[in-house]
Copies of this chain bind each other. A is one copy, B any other.
Amino acid sequence: MNKNRQSIRLCKYDYSRAGTYFVTFCTQNRECFLGNMGSIKNNISKKTELVANWQTLMRVFIRPENEETKLILLKYMEQILFGLNSFLKKHVGITEKVSLKELSMRFTETIINKNPEKKLAEVITGLIEDIAPHAVNVASPYFVGHMTSAMPFFMVHLKTIVTALNQNLVKIETSKVVSILEKQVIAKIHRIIYKENESFYNEHVQNAKTTLGIFTKDGTLANITALWVARNSLLASKEGFSGIEKEGIVPAYKAYGIERCVILASKLSHYSFKKAGGILGIGNQNIIGIDVDTNNRINLDLLKKEIKKIKKTGGRIKILAVVGIAGATETGTIDPLQKIGMLCSENKIHFHVDAAWGGPTLMSEKYKHLLDGIELADSVTIDCHKQFYMPMSSGMVYFKSPTIMNSIEYHANYVNRPGSVDLGIKSITGSREANSIILDCALKIMGTQGYALLIEHGIETARKFAEEIKKRPDFQLMTPPELNILTYRICPVDIKKKLSEDNFEQRQSINKELNKINRNVQRLQREAGKSFVSRTTLNIGNKRKEDIVVLRCVIMNPMTNINILKKILDEQEKIYRCYITTSRP
> A249-289: contact bitstring with B at CB < 8 Å (1 yes, 0 no)?
11101000001110000000011101101111111111000
A177 proximal to B (CB < 8 A): yes
B444-A117 in contact (CB<8A):
yes
A413-B536 in contact (CB<8A):
yes
Q: Which of A53, A81, A187, A392 has the most CB of B within 10 A?
A: A392
Residue numbers in B under 8 Å from A412 (CB-CB): 270-271, 329
A432-B285 in contact (CB<8A):
no
Partner of A52, one of B163, B164, B450: B450
Binds B, one of A5-13, A398-406, A502-510: A5-13
> A549-582: contact bitstring with B at CB < 8 Å (1 yes, 0 no)?
0001000001000000000000000000000000
Binds B, one of A167-175, A305-313, A472-480, A491-499: A167-175
Roughly how many angstroms separate A282 CA and B62 CA in the complex, as a whole number? 47
16 contacts between A and B (CB under 8 A): A20-B83, A23-B25, A60-B445, A84-B164, A107-B180, A115-B447, A127-B441, A131-B181, A135-B167, A148-B431, A156-B160, A217-B217, A219-B431, A245-B284, A249-B250, A385-B431
Number of A interface residues, CB 8 Å?
206
- How many copies altogether? 2
A413-B154 in contact (CB<8A):
no
Residue numbers in B under 8 Å from A161 (CB-CB): 76, 80, 124, 127-128
Shortest Cβ distance from residue A576 to the other chain B in the assembled complex, whole angstroms = 20
Roughly how many angstroms separate A446 CA and B119 CA in the complex, as a whole number? 9
Closest CB pairs A-B (n = 6): A281-B281, A248-B283, A22-B22, A134-B177, A414-B536, A392-B433
Residue numbers in B under 8 Å from A115 (CB-CB): 447, 449
Contact A282-B281, Cβ < 8 Å, known A26-B10, A103-B177, A392-B167? yes
A447-B77 in contact (CB<8A):
no
Residue numbers in B under 8 Å from A20 (CB-CB): 78, 83
Shortest Cβ distance from residue A447 to the other chain B in the assembled complex, whole angstroms = 4
A165 proximal to B (CB < 8 A): yes
Q: Which of A155, A246, A281 has the most CB of B within 10 A?
A: A281
A112-B23 in contact (CB<8A):
no
Q: Which of A138, A158, A434 has the most CB of B within 10 A?
A: A138
Other A-B pairs, 8, CB within 8 Å; known A80-B161, A116-B450: A62-B152, A63-B83, A110-B190, A117-B444, A134-B176, A218-B430, A224-B428, A250-B259
Shortest Cβ distance from residue A268 to the other chain B in the assembled complex, whole angstroms = 10
Residue numbers in B under 8 Å from A445 (CB-CB): 60, 116-120, 123
Task: List A residues 1-45 near B (Cβ within 8 Å).
Answer: 3-14, 19-23, 25-27, 30, 33-34, 37
Residue numbers in B under 8 Å from A155 (CB-CB): 163
